């Protein structure tokens, strides 16, 4: 490549090409190796539930307002103990699962890659809006691109970049909403205010935690109204429509939970005492210390903070308190309001942060990047093409190092023993096996001890009841006693799993008579009287054969 071409790429007009290339390259590299993986590994439980909701739309005529999975007994409100008459569940508006279901119908496939593809496309689009947002904040693509690269190579974001959870698609909507709002803040075009509120409203509907940024934007704008910087009434229609949409769906969701139960948490989880605070913090440090941002990224963030302090000190020393003549309320106030709101969210959901890394993605992850953009805005860039080329080369090298660390984190998360993967392989082909045994697709089946809950039913192509709880014997006893009253036709157990937990689940297994075995699974008939087989007798009992 000639030097003139390099000079053009490093000029002010070359930023879009660099950003698009980085977004596509890093995004695909971190996602394609696992693009068709069934829900497994970290948070397979939640992944399986959201995947099941998409499949539920394919089965219920694409009814957006009645999301359902494959499970009749819901986790909430009484921990799997109540058998509902249907599999409908309350949930944040499953818009992304709904679109994934539409894609499945159009493509003629319900394979995991279809859902992941939609999430991938959302994430790619979101990062493009992040670049546009940061370029507007910093007035320089050379300052905007590092923020995008930081996002692309963050281990946490890479894992959920093309996942089943709604966190990454909701973030994409937030990025688009903030871009539209910042454009309105800078140019004053009311249409971008409305567009920003639309995006942020959709983000809140699909992930309730994103209400924080919507409230922060509205609060910041209200401060501007009070300072007479901007008119009030032109903003009201978008806020009213957004508020009605969110409030209306919250009421509908509460109705769904009351009538049908829920598979999803719908309550606050603050620390109950000081011990909770300490314990969760200890778990976060042990589990997620380098998951949110990698080793190198954390040092880069510290470096950006130090560089900002030095740049501001030098600027003040050189120019005193001179202003730019911009009388608008500084955007740093928006960042402060937003961050404070996210800290309140963390306090309200503190106990969830111990074992749910994606909660950080739902709250502080994007504000950190927003602060990074504001920090880079204050740091001057040396003039000249050679300096620009040097900066680009440095960004490429550092991004490669960060990506390599993120890749190893990804590989670690997909390596080793995983109960969800075992469940997938054991149930794979079970739909055809049950068909061969003459088990109706409408039969209700109890899945005993399998994790995650929805996976067995997805693969069996049938609905039923999950009896999975590796808690205390008392917990299992309560669920087992309730399970005896579930109106199920059959039960399925994993051959490798049940012997280990046979005594644990004895209260329900004593009402199961083995009738078929395919090597991985045992099909049982539910009986009204106790069978009382030992573990050895249970697996030696005469039964039909069959295979996958």
pLDDT of residue 324: 52
Distance between CA atoms of 392 and 432, rounded to whole angstroms? Answer: 55
Pair 125, 132: CB distance under 8 Å: no
- Beta bridge partners, 262, equal 76, 90
Query: Which H helix or E strand runs over 22?
Result: helix 15-31
Nearest CA to 291 among 401, 414, 406?
A: 406
**Average pLDDT, stretch 401-423?**
87
Read off the pLDDT band of 472 (50, 70, 90). Answer: low
pLDDT of residue 104: 98
Tell me what the pLDDT averaged over the chain comes to.
90
Percent of the chain with pLDDT over 70: 92
Measured from the Cβ of residue 532, the count of other Cβ atoms closer than 10 Å reads 11
Count Cα atoms within 13 angstroms, Cβ side, for 176.
20
Q: Which residue has the tokens 């994430």?
A: 123
Q: CA angle, 495 as apex, 450 and 505 as ends, to 5°? A: 55
Radius of gyration over alpha carbons of the chain, in Å?
26
Distance between CA atoms of 411 and 442, rounded to whole angstroms? Answer: 39
pLDDT of residue 9: 46
**Average pLDDT, stretch 463-475?**
72
Nearest CA to 70 among 59, 61, 79?
A: 59
Q: What is the pLDDT of residues 498-508, one digit of tens each?
A: 677 777 777 77
Read off the pLDDT band of 222 (50, 70, 90). Answer: very high
**Is 474 a residue whose pLDDT tops 60?**
no
Give φ, ψ of 485 to 5 degrees.
Answer: -100, 0
**Is 293 a residue whose pLDDT tops 80?**
yes
**Is 490 a residue whose pLDDT tops 50?**
yes
Cα dihedral across residues 406, 407, 409, 414: positive or negative = positive
Distance between CA atoms of 114 and 103, rounded to whole angstroms? Answer: 7
Pair 339, 105: CB distance under 8 Å: no
**Average pLDDT, stretch 49-75?**
97
Q: Which residue has the tokens 């913090």?
A: 281
- The DSSP line for 350-362 is GGGGTT-THHHHH
Q: What is the pLDDT of residues 67-123, one digit of tens each?
A: 999 999 999 998 888 899 999 999 999 999 999 999 999 999 999 999 999 999 999
The length of the chain in residues reads: 548
- The DSSP line for 401-437 is HHHHHHHHHHHHHTSS--HHHHHHHHHTTHHHHHHHT
pLDDT of residue 156: 95
pLDDT of residue 540: 77
Q: What is the pLDDT of residues 246-265, one digit of tens each?
A: 999 999 999 999 999 999 99
**Is 64 a residue whose pLDDT tops 70?**
yes
Distance between CA atoms of 362 and 166, rounded to whole angstroms? Answer: 10
pLDDT of residue 535: 78
Residues 472-488 as b/e (b if ≥16 CB within 10 A, e otherwise) read eeeebbbbbebbbebeb
Give φ, ψ of 482 to 5 degrees.
Answer: -70, -40
Q: What is the pLDDT of residues 359-380, one digit of tens each?
A: 999 999 999 999 999 999 999 8
SS3 330: coil
pLDDT of residue 478: 65
Q: What is the pLDDT of residues 124-139, one digit of tens each?
A: 999 999 999 999 999 9
Measured from the Cβ of residue 541, the count of other Cβ atoms closer than 10 Å reads 16
Query: Which H helix or E strand runs over 257?
Result: helix 236-260
* Most confident region among 77-86, 346-355, 495-504, 512-521 by mean pLDDT: 346-355
Whole-Å CA distances, 178 to 31, 131, 331: 25, 11, 12
Distance between CA atoms of 412 and 155, rounded to whole angstroms? Answer: 11
Pair 490, 445: CB distance under 8 Å: yes
3-state SS, one letter per residue, for 113-177:
HHHHHHHHHHHHHHHHHHHHHHHHHHCCHHHHHHHHHHHHCCHHHHHHCCCCCCHHHHHHHHHHH
Residue 77, preceding bond cis, omega within 30 degrees? yes
**Average pLDDT, stretch 31-51?**
94
**Is 323 a residue whose pLDDT tops 50?**
no
Read off the pLDDT band of 530 (50, 70, 90). Answer: confident
Distance between CA atoms of 80 and 543, rounded to whole angstroms? Answer: 30
pLDDT of residue 3: 46
Query: Which H helix or E strand runs over 467?
Result: strand 464-467
Read off the pLDDT band of 486 (50, 70, 90). Answer: confident
**Is 303 a residue whose pLDDT tops 50?**
yes
- The DSSP line for 332-387 is HHHHHHHHHHHHHHHHHTGGGGTT-THHHHHTTHHHHHHHHHHHHHHS----SHHH
Pair 217, 224: CB distance under 8 Å: no
Residue 452, preceding bond cis, omega within 30 degrees? yes
Residues 365-388 as b/e (b if ≥16 CB within 10 A, e otherwise) read bbbbbbbbbbbbbbeeeeeeeeeb
Read off the pLDDT band of 14 (50, 70, 90). Answer: low
Pair 69, 456: CB distance under 8 Å: no
Spatial neighbors of 2 by CB under 8 A, at least 6 apart, are none
Read off the pLDDT band of 6 (50, 70, 90). Answer: very low
Pair 50, 165: CB distance under 8 Å: yes
Distance between CA atoms of 493 and 178, rounded to whole angstroms? Answer: 49
**Average pLDDT, stretch 177-206?**
97
């Amino acid at each position: 490549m000639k030097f003139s071409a390099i000079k053009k790429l490093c000029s002010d007009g070359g930023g879009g090409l660099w950003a698009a290339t980085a977004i596509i390259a890093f995004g695909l590299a971190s996602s394609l190796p696992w693009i068709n993986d069934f829900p497994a590994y970290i948070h397979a439980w939640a992944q399986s539930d959201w995947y099941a909701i998409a499949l539920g739309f394919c089965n219920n005529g694409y009814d957006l307002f009645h999301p359902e999975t494959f499970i009749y007994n819901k986790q909430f409100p009484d921990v799997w103990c109540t058998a509902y008459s249907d599999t409908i569940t309350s949930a944040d508006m499953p818009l992304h699962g709904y679109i994934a279901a539409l894609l499945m119908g159009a493509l003629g496939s319900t394979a995991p890659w279809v859902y992941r593809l939609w999430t991938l496309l959302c994430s790619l689009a979101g990062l493009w809006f992040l670049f546009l947002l940061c370029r507007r904040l910093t007035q320089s693509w050379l300052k905007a691109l590092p923020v995008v690269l930081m996002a692309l190579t963050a281990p946490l974001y890479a894992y959920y970049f093309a996942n089943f959870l709604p966190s990454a698609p909701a973030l994409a909507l937030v990025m688009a909403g903030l871009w539209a709002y910042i454009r309105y803040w800078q140019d004053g075009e009311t249409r971008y205010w409305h567009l920003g509120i639309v995006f942020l409203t959709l983000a809140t509907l699909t992930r309730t935690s994103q209400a924080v940024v919507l409230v922060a934007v509205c609060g910041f704008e209200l401060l501007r109204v009070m300072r007479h910087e901007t008119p009030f009434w032109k903003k009201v229609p978008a806020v009213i429509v957004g508020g009605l949409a969110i409030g209306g769906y919250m009421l509908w969701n509460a109705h769904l939970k009351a009538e049908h139960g829920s598979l999803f948490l719908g309550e606050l989880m603050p620390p109950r005492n000081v011990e909770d605070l300490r314990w969760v913090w200890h778990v976060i440090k042990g589990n997620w210390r380098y998951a949110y941002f990698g080793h190198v990224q954390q040092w880069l963030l510290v470096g950006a903070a130090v560089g900002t302090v030095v740049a501001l000190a030098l600027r003040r020393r050189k120019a005193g308190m001179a202003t730019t003549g911009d009388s608008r309320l500084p955007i740093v106030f928006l960042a402060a309001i937003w961050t404070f709101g996210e800290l309140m969210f963390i306090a309200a959901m503190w106990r969830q942060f111990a074992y749910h890394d994606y909660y950080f993605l739902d709250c502080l992850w994007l504000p950190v990047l927003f602060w990074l953009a504001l920090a880079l805005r204050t740091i001057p860039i040396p003039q000249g093409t050679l300096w620009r080329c040097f900066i680009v080369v440095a960004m490429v090298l550092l991004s490669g190092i960060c990506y390599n660390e993120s890749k190893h984190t990804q590989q670690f998360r997909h390596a080793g023993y995983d109960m969800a993967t075992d469940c997938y392989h054991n149930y794979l082909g079970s739909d055809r096996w049950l068909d061969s045994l003459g088990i109706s697709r409408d039969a209700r089946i109890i899945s005993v001890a399998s994790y995650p809950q929805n996976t067995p039913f997805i693969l069996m192509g049938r609905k039923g009841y999950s009896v999975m709880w590796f808690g205390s014997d008392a917990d299992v006893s309560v669920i087992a006693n309730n399970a005896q009253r579930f109106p199920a036709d059959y039960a399925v157990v994993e051959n490798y799993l049940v012997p280990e937990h046979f005594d644990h689940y004895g209260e329900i297994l004593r009402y199961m008579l083995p009738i078929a075995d395919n090597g991985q699974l045992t099909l049982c008939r539910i009986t009204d009287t106790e069978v009382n087989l030992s573990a050895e007798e249970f697996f030696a009992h005469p039964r039909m054969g069959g295979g996958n």
